[in-house]
Structure 1
Amino acid sequence: MTFVTSTASAGTVSSYYADIDVAGWQADSSVFECLLVQQIPGLGQAVFYHQAGDPLSFYLQTPNTPMQAGRALLTSQPPVWRQELEVRDLGYVDVAISQQPVTLDAQRSRLLMAELDRGMVPTLMRRAWFNDQESIHVGLSPVHFSDAYAEYHQCIAGLLPVNFAQIERSTVFWQPNQRELTDDMKAQLDDIITYTQADPRVSGFEVNGFTDGAGNPRENFELSRIRAFAVHQYLVENGINEDMLNTRFFGSAPQFRIVEQERSAADRDRNRRVTIRLLRD
């Protein structure tokens, strides 16, 4: 059923499904993201999206949603060739008037995947925006889902631990008088290194060292240098081209503090840092 309009006692129903001969799921895999996509004729796309460092999500993509804003009923329907299976209500989901009218969190997304994997047709039901007497049904076909699902699982096993937005601006915080990297700091830098080595668009790093305002300004300036270059050296020793690094240090200069007027140990903790900004073409 590509697009079907029928009349029932409750009113007109307009249904958007993929015909069995064209239904299918396209897997798109990389270390940055994993997608499962189905084309829904007359509507747009159904997309499972899993970006590195983020949880799984699901969304409908359509240039013009026929659904009214509000709450849609989500059910799991048997396909036409398995009518002996029972319909299951999966709850209600929010519908917005946008090009992504339905977006689901990881738990609901996994539920949809499980229903598709057992051969069911997850279906959204909502009134039409243009007619309160008309219902819109949007169904996801399970045809060829299992093969794409297997590829998705292979993809997520190889995803990077983080995405670019999570590391584009990173901050390494230090304890008072600390000069050496801890294991936790190294783990944070390892994620940045792993991402950079996978993404050829990363063209440079800006590494900046700062201290809090306690102590002697001259000593703080030197301490910020030591910390900045501890980060610099770790990056280089673990595969980052030194030519990509622009490393500077500013000591305890008030204009560079996150909290300019330090009144507590917590304020000083926020200022005692090395920041890393990734540049990408």
Structure 2
Amino acid sequence: MAFVDHKGQFIACIALSAVLTMDMGYTMTQVHFANPLGAKGWRVSRHPIRCGLSLTIPNYGIAYFEQYAAKPPHFILRTWDEVQRFLPAKIIVKTPIWKAEKPPILVGQFIVKPGEYGVFLRRDGALKLLTFLSQGYEPNFTYRAETGFNTMVSLSPVGFQKPYSRYQECIGNLLPFGYEQVRESIFHYKEDGRELSDEDKEQLRRIARYVNADAQIKEIRVVGYADANGRKGYNNAISEERARIVQKYLLKLGIPKEQLSVTWVGELYPIARNDTDAGRAANRRVVITLIKR
């Protein structure tokens, strides 16, 4: 049951349920953490690179589904009081009250781990929980806490449908690529080449889209390089041209000039030998790196 003060304000939502008999010969109460009726329910956070669907569980922590651009979804159950050791646990699902009463379903077993994110379920587990919730089922996480209490944490299906629909819409609008696909890009050139290929331009468009979506990107670093097949002055000049052309294209795509750091080093810092065609081809390059805050 929930406890309220004289003003009717919510104080705690620990429900003390049936008394269980423990092996040690005395009784221990089961502690039940749940989101009470009338409290704020599921919330959605929407962004081009991240979608989240979360539920705050009073006196326990927060449960949330999360998916980043170009990555699979996952589920996290985070408790305010981190556990200090590994605890065996189960996921048990209860049928909706409007369906014929059936025994609870054991969905799986897992380990509550020490640290901030005690429960972490990857794609299959997260999708399974989302499906149960969308059908009105109530997932419950049960384990024996370090204090000895039998603990149950419930995810309420009440008010889940509308936030879930918005969450699905968000996932449908995620960027089709993530940070790892644009974190570092390397463009290569033919001998004396300086122009961008169609493939290079497409990657620069991806970079611009990602930078516009991720406020954590503080700088786009562009560095031009050359091979050693020529005079040092020429190699320095062509490495500058390569870097400047990349800069110009990013500016055309709307990247602020102050967000760009553009340098060139000529034939310095080769990544391959300059006495072979393949080595020189590898050294003729521009490297674009996204730097986070």
Shorter-chain TM-score: which interval?
Answer: 0.7 to 0.9
| Pair 1:221 & 2:236 matched | yes
| Pair 1:4 & 2:15 matched | yes
**Identical columns (%):** 29
Please point out which of 87, 93, 107 is paired with 2:124.
107
Deviations 1:160-185 (A, max 9, x none): 34556764x42224255354333332
Segments of structure 2 that go 5 or more residues without pairing to the other structure are: 2-12
CA contact (8 A) 1:79 1:119 kept: yes
Measure, in 2, the Cα distance between the counterparts of 1:158 and 1:246: 30
Structure 1 residue 108, shift from structure 2 partner: 1.5
| Pair 1:31 & 2:54 matched | no
| Pair 1:129 & 2:140 matched | no
Measure, in 2, the Cα distance between the counterparts of 1:253 and 1:265: 17
Q: Residue in 2 aligned with 1:170?
A: 184
CA contact (8 A) 1:210 1:274 kept: yes
CA contact (8 A) 2:272 2:280 kept: no
Please point out which of 246, 250, 255 is paired with 1:235.
250
Q: Residue in 1 aligned with 2:158?
A: 143
Measure, in 1, the Cα distance between the counterparts of 2:276 and 2:146: 55
Measure, in 2, the Cα distance between the counterparts of 1:250 and 1:74: 57
- SS at 2:196's partner residue? coil
Partner amino acid, structure 1, of 2:124:
Q
Structure 1 residue 157, shift from structure 2 partner: 2.5
More off after superposition, 172-181 vs 69-78:
172-181
CA contact (8 A) 2:88 2:144 kept: no
| Pair 1:56 & 2:67 matched | no
More off after superposition, 222-231 vs 39-48:
222-231
Give the length in aligned residue pairs.
Answer: 274
Q: Which has the larger radius of gyration?
A: 2
Deviations 1:173-227 (A, max 9, x none): 4255354333332232112111333456756533111245x63363543442333
Q: Deviating runs (4+, > 6 A) in structure 1?
A: 260-270
TM value normalised by structure 1: 0.80
Deviations 1:76-107 (A, max 9, x none): 22245546245333222332111211112122
Measure, in 2, the Cα distance between the counterparts of 1:89 and 1:265: 62
More off after superposition, 219-228 vs 37-46:
219-228
Deviations 1:56-84 (A, max 9, x none): 22111222046851442223222455462
TM value normalised by structure 2: 0.77
- When the two chains are superposed, the root-mean-square deviation of aligned CA atoms in Å is 3.3
Structure 1 residue 114, shift from structure 2 partner: 0.7
